[in-house]
Amino acid sequence: MDDNASFKPSLRLIDATMLVAGSMIGSGIFIVSADITRNVGSTGWLIFVWLITGFMTLTAALSYGELSAMYPKAGGQYVYLKEAYGPLVGFLYGWSFFTVIQTATIAAVGVAFSKFMAYLVPVVSEDHVLLKIPVGSGSFVLNAAQLVSIALIILLTAINTRGIKSGKMIQTTFTLTKLLSLFGLIIFGFFALKGNIWKTNWSNAWDLHGMMKGGTFQSYTTVAALGAIASSMVGSIFSSDSWNNVTFIAGEIKDPKRNIGLSLALGTLLVTVIYIVTNIMYTGVLSLHEIATANKDRVAVAASQHIFGNVGTVIIAVLIMISTFGCNNGLIMAGARVYYSMAKDKLFFNKVATLNKNSVPAYGLWVQCLFACIWGLSGKYGDLLDMISFVVVVFYMLTITGIFILRSKYPNVERPYKAFGYPVLPILYIIMGLAFCILLIKFKPNYTWPGLIITLAGIPAYYLIMRRQKTALVSVIVN
C-alpha cells in the first residue's frame, strides 16, 4: 500500500452518468411491479407510484448537485452529513451503509444474478442445496446460487482493486448494453401490445384497492389507501436507489464540480423515464391479474414470454444477468470510497484509509467484499432489504435538510451549482419523505424498526470509538 497515493480523476461525464444509471438499474424493475399492483390494484396507481418515486429521486438528485459541487471529494453523502450535522450523524450513515445498505444490497444483487443464470445453467439454481446444517430450531443452508453470488462479488472486487479504469470499463460497457436492451424490450413490447388488455387495464385506472389471492379485491379507507401507496413505494424506491453512489467516487471524476451534478440529473432522469415507460408497456401486454400473480413476481419474464414466446425467458435471463453484473460493479466500486473517508476520520479500520499502487482503496474493497459475502451466506439480506427503504429515505431527508443548514453555516462558500427549485423542491421532498416514513411506521412497522435499530446501534459504537481514541491519545501524551 502507498500512503502517499492519491485518487486519479479519470472518469468523464459519460462514465459518471453510467455509474448513476447502472447502480440504479438492478433487478427491481423486472420484479417489484407485481407487489405494487397487489397493493394498489389499478393501472393508474401503478404508474403513479413509479411517477412519484421518480419525482422524489430527481428532486433529491438535483438537490445533491449543490452539495457535490461544494464538497467534490471521496465519501459523498457521508461528507455532506458530517459537514452539516457533525461527525456522529456522518458516522451513523456510514455505519448503516456498511452494515446493511450497501453490503446487503451487493449480496442481494449477486443472488439475483445467479437466480437468472439458473435459467441458462440449472445447476446453479437456489434449489440446488449443497449443504444443510441444523442450527438451533432452524438450519444453515448453502445453495449453488449463493456460491455463484459470492464468486461474482469476489471477482468484481478483484477487478476494482486493479484501478478505476478497470471498473470504469465494465460499468460503462454493461450499463450501455442494458440500457439498449431495455429500450429493445420496450419497443418490442409496444409492437406486441394487445388492444383488449390495454383497454381493460385502463378502463378503471384510478380505482384504488388491494388485490387479494384468488382475484378478490380489498377496499381501503382514505388513510389505509395512503398506507397502501407508501407500502408500494418500498419496492419502487429500492429499485430507484443507489443513484447517490456517484458522489462517493467524486475524487476520481474529472471536473467534479460540474460533472457530478450533471451526471446525477442525466442518470436519474434517464432511469426514471425507462422505469415509467417499462411499466406502461407491462400494462399493454399483461392483464393486471397477470402482473400481480406473476410467478415469483417475475413480471418481466411473463411479459417477455408474451412478446417473444418461449425464448422470452432466456432473453430476460440474459438481460437481468447483464443488468445485475453492471449494477454490482457500480455498488462495489463506489462503496469502498465511503469507508475510505470514514477511516481518514479515524472512524473505520485504519488500513482502509490507504490506497494501493493503483490509487484505489483496496483494503476497503476487500472489507466490503467480506461483509457482503457474509450476508450472501446468511440468506437474510432479502428480509433486510425490504426494511432499509425507510432508513435510506431518512438519510436522504437529513442530507437535503443539510442544504439549508450549510447555507446558514457557510453562506460564503463557493457554490458552483445551486439546488434546482430551492427552496420549494427540497422542502417538497422533505414533506413527501416524512409522509412516506410516517405511513410506513403506522402501516408497515416491520419495514421500519429493524432498519432503525441497526442505525441506532451505531450510536454506542461511535462513542466506543471516540473513547478508544481518547485513551490512545492520553497514552501517547503520557509516554
- pLDDT for 272 beyond 60: yes
**For 361-384, how does the pLDDT look when each residue is reduced to its tens digit (9 = 90+)?**
999 999 999 999 999 888 776 677
pLDDT band at 3 (very low <50, low <70, confident <90, very high): very low
Using an 8 Å Cβ cutoff, are 236 and 45 in contact?
Answer: no
Q: How far apart are CA 27 and CA 111, in angstroms?
A: 10
Average pLDDT over residues 195-208: 92
Residue 29 has which C-alpha cell?
424493475
Q: What is the pLDDT of residue 135?
A: 74
Report which listed range, 36-45, 203-212, 237-246, 414-423, is most confident: 36-45
pLDDT band at 214 (very low <50, low <70, confident <90, very high): low
**For 67-94, how does the pLDDT look when each residue is reduced to its tens digit (9 = 90+)?**
988 888 878 899 999 999 999 999 999 9
Cα four-point dihedral sign 288, 291, 295, 297: negative
pLDDT band at 22 (very low <50, low <70, confident <90, very high): very high
Average pLDDT over residues 435-444: 87
- Give 102-105's long-range contacts (Cβ < 8 A, gap of 24+): 102/331, 102/335, 102/338, 102/368, 102/372, 103/335, 103/368, 103/371, 103/372, 103/375, 104/372, 104/375, 104/381, 104/384, 104/385, 104/388, 105/241, 105/242, 105/331, 105/381, 105/385, 105/388
Q: How far apart are CA 461 and CA 93, in angstroms?
A: 13
Count, residues in the chain: 479
Q: What is the pLDDT of residue 427?
A: 94
- pLDDT for 475 beyond 70: no
For residue 103, the tally of other CB atoms under 10 A from its CB is 27
Average pLDDT over residues 208-222: 74
Of residues 386 and 389, more confidence is placed in 389
pLDDT band at 340 (very low <50, low <70, confident <90, very high): very high
Q: What is the pLDDT of residue 382?
A: 67
- pLDDT for 449 beyond 90: no
| Mean pLDDT, the chain, integer | 89
Q: What is the pLDDT of residue 387?
A: 74
Helix (H, G, I), strand (E, B) or coil at 204: coil
Query: To the nearest whole percent, how much of the chain has pLDDT over 70?
Result: 96
Average pLDDT over residues 196-212: 89
